[in-house]
Structure formats: C-alpha cells, structure tokens
Structure 1
Amino acid sequence: MNIQKVLVPPLKIQGIKTKLVLSIKSVIEWDNKGIYFEPFMGSGVVGFNIAPNRAIFSDNNPHIIAFYRAIQNGVITKNSAKSYLQYEGNLLQQYGQEHYLKIRTRFNQEHNPFDFLFLNRSCFNGLMRFNSKGAFNVPYCKKDMRFSQSYITKITNQIDWVAKLIQNKDYEFRVCDFSQTLQQAKENDFIYCDPPYIDRYSDYFNSWDSYQEKQLYNMLCATKAKFILSTWHSNQYRQNEYIENFWGHFHHNIIEHFYHLGANETNRHSIKETLVKNYIIKQNITKNIPTKQISLFESALERTTY
C-alpha cells in the first residue's frame, strides 16, 4: 500500500498543520498552472508538502521569512546549521539557561536566522511568542542536553529537504500583511489560508480579531482563485461563532485531531477544525484521510449538534 508521508520543516510553530497536510492535499482541486499563495506562511508545512511550481509565501513575522530566505540564498544549509547547532549546543550543555538567555538577547538585537532556529528548538514547548516591542520572550525549555547529535541530524535533514525544494522551484518569500498577498491572486491561482485562530491564540506578530477575520472573509469572497481556509470549528467547551457568522455558506471538511503544542495542558485537548473551500470536490477523496466532506445543509446541521 502506498502510504503518503508528510515532510516536516525545521521551524516549530504552535498550530502547525502537520496532521492536516494529507487532508488538505486530498481536497485540493488545482492544475498547478497558476501561482500558489500562502499569506499566513508560519512553518510552511502545507505549501512545502504541496510543492507547487510557483508560489508566493508571506507572513507578517519577519523572522520566519528571513529564515526561509536564508535557506533559499544558501546561507543556512545542512552543513552550516550542523556546525552552528553543534557549537551552540555544546555551550548550552555547559551553561544551560544562562546560554539560552544570552542567545535570546543576541537574537533580539541582531535578528540572526541561525539564532532564531536555536531559540525555536530550545524554548519552552516550541512556542513562538513576541512581546509588544517585537522581542522574542519565550522562556527556556530547561533541557541542557537539547541538541544531541541525533536531534541536530533531524533538524539538518529537515533543512536539507526544504532547501532542495526551494532551490528547484519559483518561490518568493515576503514580509507583508495578508491583504497585500491576496490582492494578487487571479483565476488560475490557488490560495491556502491559515490565519491565527480567532479567540484562541495571538502574539505580537500574529494578533487576530474580528475586524481582520471580516477583512479576510471579504477578500476571499471576492477572489476569483480557488481557496482553502483552515480554522477551528469547535472543541469540548464551545463552538467557533465565526463559522456561522462568516464561513457557513462555503463548503466544509471537518477534521478532529489533537494539538500537542501549548503553554499548558488546557490548550492540548482535542479540537475539530474545518477546511473551508469555495469549490466542490470533483475527484474522490484519498482513502484513509480523516476528513469529512459535508454539504451546506449538513454544515448547518452539524453546527447545531456538536
């Protein structure tokens, strides 16, 4: 049996769509002849696994974009990352939190993408959080032996496959607001949107409110491109009211899974997410993908029964 494999990129970000990639890929209806737009790039796991020929990845977090530009430009490579992580990892092993805080201070002053990678893989619970001044402020994970040889190899292999993909494709990485990216999308293009989940998570670079949700809704309603939007549907405590207010008249695929990233255990329970689409699936959905295609009538019914 042909088992599809999800390749994981080197950056860890809360809300990463590793578990949803196969579900997203299974409902894409696109001939790959236009441009793929991802205006909330985050880790890049969705776009990199789709691997379109042409793509514009954007995010309002400049450090994410700088990191992937460094890979694209050959500054961050498998070997350069290995040397860096071995050196800084040895110092972390010796000095622990003191060294972590030293790197965090240096990053907030110099914004070096290597330091960004170090912090991303040694901070508490893999969080990516910034204060109101744009400074990375996540505390230490308290694992002095964090960068073992096997862990470094895992990270550098992730960098290597992303580098090979990026360097063989026509990809552009931009720091900008989502609206600037969506304005460019045309009829033959495809859009994947993964905005910060409203009422669930925000940081300095990824704050999100009802105004932005409505702005995104209006732009996606107006676009001539096909799109998929990821958002949360419900959990054991409540439902996402914006599904009914904004997104209810589109086509939905509902998926239930479990998030592991989060500052405390209350953020790590099961959640239903929905893939909102402006088109009907014509092809058969890939077998063994935990996704549920529902009609508009069924969507309204499910919202009243969860």
Structure 2
Amino acid sequence: MKTYIPPIKSQGIKTKLVPFISQYIPKDFDGVWIEPFLGTGVVAFNLAPNKALLCDSNPHLIQFYQAIQNKQITPNTVRNYLQQEGDRLLHLGEQHYYFIRDRFNATGNSLDFLFLNRAGFNGMIRFNRKGEFNIPFCRKTNRFSKAYITKIVNQVDNISQIIHAKKFTFICQDYQETIASAQKGDLIYCDPPYIDRHADYFNSWTEKDELQLYHLLKHSKAQFILSTWSHNRYRTNYYLENLWKEFYITKQEHFYHVGAKESNRNSMIEAMISNFEPLSLKNEITPTISQLPLLLNIEYSYVKPAYAIQSDVILHSHT
C-alpha cells in the first residue's frame, strides 16, 4: 500500500509500520477512529476512515494540522516561507536557525515549527521543562535546497487533501480525556511515549501513566490497538510481559533511523496490543519455502491472551 508521509518528522514515527497496523482495522468499521497520541499523524492520515478524533498533549502538533485544516497553511505558503527562510539560513548560517528557534518559543508560529523540525538535529522534536523547543541546529546551512522544499510542499499537499476530504477533529488535550470519550463501535489507536525509552516536556511517561493507560483501555467500551516496544538487543519491556499479557499481542521488527545518538538508531521488536483478535492474523500459518524471502530480517510473533486458547505462531528471521 502507498503510505503518505506527513511534513512533520519525529523519533518513533510509524511510517514503515502503517501496512502492519492496517491489518487490525475491521473491513466493516464505521465508527470514529480515535488517537490520544497523534504525534506526526502518519497512522491517522493513512488509515483513519471518514471520521476521526485526533488528539495530542503537544499544542504545536495540533496547531500545525489545524492550520492546514483551516487553510492558514497551504502548499504555497509553505513553499514561500521555506524559500525565504532557507535562503536566510544559507547566507546567515546557524545563527538564523537559533533566531527562528527563539521566535518560535516566543510566538509558537506553526511555520517556524515546521522549519525547526526539518532543520534541527536529526529531525527530532524535544521540549525542555519550560515547554521550549531545544533541539540544536543540524549544521547544514544548505538544508532547504529546491528539491527538499518541493518534497516538503508535496507532503503538505498530500496531507491537506486527506484532511479536507474527511471529517477530522484535532484537539489538544490529555490522553485520559480522549480515551474516556470513546464509545462502543469506535476504534482507539494508541501510540504513547514508550515506557523506559524517551521522554520530554510534552512526552513524559512514567509507570503511573502506563498503569493508568492500561486501566482506561481495559475498561473502555471501544476496541483498541496499542503500539509499544517488546525488546531490543539490550533489554525487554517488563510491562508488556507483566501488565498487557491478557490481550492479543503481535510483534514485528522495526528500525528507527531517528535518534540523538547513532548508537540509538537500532532495530527494535515492536509490539501491537489489542483487545480483539485481528481477522487478518487469526488464521496465520507458517509460511511455505517460497514465502520465506518476504520475511527476511523480520521476527513475527502472534500471541493470544492468557484467557484464550493458546496457539502461538513464531516466525524467526531466515538468512
């Protein structure tokens, strides 16, 4: 399937996992798609049906997409802005990046947010305890080449068309309030900050939050899908094995290219948790020899919850 990439980048973006997540959506789903942790919006923009409630505690993410929805930000305004500020960056160097960063922290301008996201170090989004964007410059004064600007403009255009073709509501609010609004027939997709992984001012995540999320989803009237991490070469997610084990769990390898340190840009086994059995995975069987090339570098595991009939399927990478 074709995956549309949003103009905002972030660590942990789920672009390559969109086809995997799509397998969870019932074919006859006609409720509201709900995301308490919108992030870049890549999952919603590619998978959400006609009606969606898209929320995040970071006001800058919500404001950016509201501006596209209200046509305050258009492909043309983005092109003109990036050409102007990109030219100044080329001639003034990194001092102009920090000028934009100071201006953004003072005004919250959405186009400045886009600029910082694409010119900051490794495309990261991070805020300090004062709520100020604090990512340093990527040290590439020629960052906004003509081709790169066109790429971003096309991304804005694609997402704009998706937003205007559907009934999307963007709200800046706490995840607890968003989940509490879900009704029977809705589908909640949660991509919270990964516990024991990364956190900042808008994305702090503690054991208390993980437990609260568990109780909210367990008692929700809606169906839910939750993204989290299972394990990497160094450690295992304690909460997946000890808190979420009563639900359906599937796993797939994913490589993160975004991270402050190169040593952090490693593959990780992602986990998808749901309170319903995905029909597309229900009858999963071991592949034939002819199918093995499709599974290179992938660890796939489908685990039914403790209260269901145990019938696990594990496919390990083949070399």
Show CA shifts across 1:51-104 (max 9, x none): 310001000000000000000000111111000000000000001110000000
Partner of 2:12: 15
Partner of 1:112: 109
- Is 1:140 matched with 2:140? no
Q: CA contact under 8 A between 1:248 and 1:299: conserved in structure 2? A: no
Scaled by the length of structure 2, the TM-score of the pair is: 0.90
Show CA shifts across 1:284-303 (max 9, x none): 6899586543323679998x
Partner of 1:48: 45
Distance in 2 (alpha carbons) for counterparts of 1:197 and 1:143: 30
Give the partner amino acid of 1:117: L
CA positional deviation for 1:48: 0.5
Distance in 1 (alpha carbons) for counterparts of 2:20 and 2:198: 23
What is the 5 A alignment of 1:88-237?
Answer: 88-237=85-234
Partner of 1:283: 280
Q: CA contact under 8 A between 2:56 and 2:174: conserved in structure 1? A: yes
Q: Pick from 241, 245, 255: which aligns with 2:242? A: 245
Size of the alignment, in residue pairs?
299
Q: Pick from 253, 269, 273: which aligns with 2:270? A: 273
Partner of 1:295: 304
Q: CA contact under 8 A between 2:302 and 2:312: conserved in structure 1? A: no
Distance in 1 (alpha carbons) for counterparts of 2:225 and 2:281: 17
Identity across aligned pairs (percent)?
49
Distance in 2 (alpha carbons) for counterparts of 1:243 and 1:69: 34
Q: CA contact under 8 A between 1:59 and 1:174: conserved in structure 2? A: yes
Q: CA contact under 8 A between 2:33 and 2:48: conserved in structure 1? A: no
SS at match of 2:30: coil
User: Tell me, which stretches of 5 or more residues in structure 2 are unaligned?
Assistant: 285-290, 315-319
* RMSD (Å), alpha carbons: 1.9
For the structure 1 residues 149 and 188, does the alpha-carbon distance in structure 2 shift closer, same or farther, using more than 3 Å as the test? same
Q: CA contact under 8 A between 1:127 and 1:138: conserved in structure 2? A: yes
Partner of 2:83: 86
Distance in 2 (alpha carbons) for counterparts of 1:236 and 1:165: 38
Distance in 2 (alpha carbons) for counterparts of 1:247 and 1:124: 35
Distance in 2 (alpha carbons) for counterparts of 1:98 and 1:137: 14
Give the partner amino acid of 1:211: K
Q: CA contact under 8 A between 1:248 and 1:300: conserved in structure 2? A: no
Q: CA contact under 8 A between 1:32 and 1:53: conserved in structure 2? A: no
Distance in 2 (alpha carbons) for counterparts of 1:22 and 1:60: 26
Q: CA contact under 8 A between 2:301 and 2:312: conserved in structure 1? A: no
User: Tell me, which stretches of 5 or more residues in structure 1 are unaligned?
Assistant: none
Q: CA contact under 8 A between 2:34 and 2:54: conserved in structure 1? A: yes
Distance in 2 (alpha carbons) for counterparts of 1:118 and 1:282: 42
Distance in 1 (alpha carbons) for counterparts of 2:280 and 2:311: 20
CA positional deviation for 1:34: 1.1
Q: CA contact under 8 A between 2:36 and 2:54: conserved in structure 1? A: yes
For the structure 1 residues 244 and 112, does the alpha-carbon distance in structure 2 shift closer, same or farther, using more than 3 Å as the test? same
Distance in 2 (alpha carbons) for counterparts of 1:293 and 1:47: 24
Give the partner amino acid of 1:59: D
Distance in 2 (alpha carbons) for counterparts of 1:51 and 1:217: 23
SS at match of 2:280: coil
- Is 1:36 matched with 2:45? no
SS at match of 2:251: strand
Q: CA contact under 8 A between 2:89 and 2:97: conserved in structure 1? A: yes
